[in-house]
Structure formats: C-alpha cells, structure tokens
C-alpha cells in the first residue's frame, strides 16, 4: 500500500546509481522526481562559465541570484540556469572537479535546501542527493542509503561519460570519486552520512532492475 503523500529520500555517494534508479522508482510510483545533485552542479557550472575563478567569493556571488529550475520530462531531468538549458553541460568532469567545494559552502546549501523543501511541499516526491534524509527532508516516509564499491561506481560513471562523448579513463574517474567521497563526508555542513532510520542498500553486483525492485518493496511495505 502506498501513502497518499509519499516522500522518499535517497542518499549516497557519487556513482552509486541514485539518479538512475530514482527516476525509475518515481515513474513507477507516480512521484515527482527531484535531482538535488543537478542543482549543485548547476551552481558549479555557472561559476566555471563566468570565468572569475573558483573562489569562495565567486561561488557565493553566483549562488546569491542564480535561478535554477528542474523539469522532469520524457524520462530525464532537464536543468536550466537563468533560462539557459545546461542539462548536458553540468555533467562534465570539469564540473565534477569543483562541485564538492561549491556544495560545502553554507550560503549555497542554504539557498538550495530552501528551494528543495519548497519543491517537496507540492505533494508526493522522490528526492535524491547526499543530505536528503538527514537534513532536507528528515521526516521522509522512506529513507534509503544507496552505495556500492568504489570500483563499481567508477566503472558506472566512466561508462556514462564515455557514452556522452567524454574521453575519460576508469582510473581517473575512480580518483575523482574517491576525492569526492572524502570531501562530501568531511565537509562541516550537512556531510554525507547514512540517516539513523535509513535502510542501507549496497548495489554492488546488482542490476538496475534488482535495485528498483528492492526500493519499490520498501515503499510499498505496510507502515
């Protein structure tokens, strides 16, 4: 049985498959899908686009008046910054290099969390990120911490980037993910961690279909 207002929070490290399975689960349960990672990537993209350096001052200047909008249609999230579509541009390694620094700043997180909570007010939602269950939506109906081995995550992310035409090596992606894990887990504000009441789901060796099935079971269990 599904709650009339179901709020699902999926957290986990980079490359764990959050966005992939979240989209499928949201589609199956008719939930509004909100990709919070895309919002921080959007800020990072604008910082790079302005070419004023990746300093705290430059990031905060961008965050103050940035207009980030997400539209989920046709099975994918389209991302717009100040009216310009940047759906593909925010997924580059250049953006990945700085997104943890961007997301660690209090002003950035405050603005993004405020936007995320407003989005969740609309009704039944599925939100994925790194601090959804612990900070953004602490009262979510279902909380899941999705992870996988770093080797598995690097393999997935490298495949995704190669399919989009980015020339990357698995070894470089693994280094990038390891650095991202460290930054996300050690940041002072809303670090990445499993919520006390979240279900741990290790996806190493599991197919997308198997992961989706397990999450659907958690969402459909009697409350």
Q: Does 222 reside within a domain?
A: no
Arithmetic mean of pLDDT, 29-42: 92
What was the pLDDT predicted at 110? 92
Q: Does 129 reside within a domain?
A: yes
CATH code: domain of residue 109? 3.40.50.300
Question: Rounded to the nearest 10 degrees, what angle do helices 36-50 and 106-120 cross at?
Answer: 140
Q: Does 48 reside within a domain?
A: yes
Q: What is the pLDDT of residues 47-79, one digit of tens each?
A: 999 999 999 999 999 999 999 998 877 777 899
Q: Count up the domains in the chain and report the number.
A: 1
Strands (E), the chain: 7-11, 32-35, 68-73, 76-81, 84-85, 125-129, 142-147, 199-202
What was the pLDDT predicted at 73? 77
Q: What is the full DSSP assignment across 56-112?
A: HHHHHHHHHH--EEEEEETTEEEEEETTEE-TTGGGSHHHHHHHHHHHTSHHHHHHH
Specify the higher pLDDT residue, 72 or 175. Answer: 175
Specify the higher pLDDT residue, 137 or 220. Answer: 137
Bridge partners of residue 75, in order along the sequence: none
Containing domain of residue 90, as a range? 7-217
Cα Rg of the chain (Å, integer): 17
Per cent of the chain over pLDDT 90 is 71
């Amino acid at each position: 049985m599904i709650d009339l207002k179901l709020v699902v929070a999926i957290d986990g490290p980079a490359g764990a498959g959050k966005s992939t399975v979240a989209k499928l689960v949201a589609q199956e349960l008719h939930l509004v899908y909100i990709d919070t990672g895309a919002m921080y990537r959007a800020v990072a993209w604008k910082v790079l686009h302005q070419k004023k350096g990746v300093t705290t001052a430059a990031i905060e200047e961008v965050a103050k008046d940035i207009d980030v909008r997400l539209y989920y249609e046709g099975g994918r999230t389209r991302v717009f910054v100040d009216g310009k579509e940047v759906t593909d541009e925010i997924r580059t390694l250049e953006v990945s290099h700085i997104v943890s620094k961007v997301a660690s700043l209090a002003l950035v997180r405050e603005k993004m969390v405020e936007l995320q909570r407003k989005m969740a007010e609309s009704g039944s939602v599925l939100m994925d990120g790194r601090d959804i269950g612990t900070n953004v939506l602490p009262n979510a109906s279902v909380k899941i911490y999705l992870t996988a081995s770093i080797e598995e995550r690097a393999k997935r992310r490298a495949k995704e980037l190669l399919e989009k035409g980015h020339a990357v090596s698995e070894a470089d992606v693994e280094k990038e993910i390891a650095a991202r894990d460290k930054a996300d887990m050690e940041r002072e504000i809303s670090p990445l961690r499993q919520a006390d009441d979240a279900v741990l789901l290790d996806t190493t060796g599991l197919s997308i279909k198997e992961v989706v099935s397990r999450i659907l079971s958690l969402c459909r269990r009697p409350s």
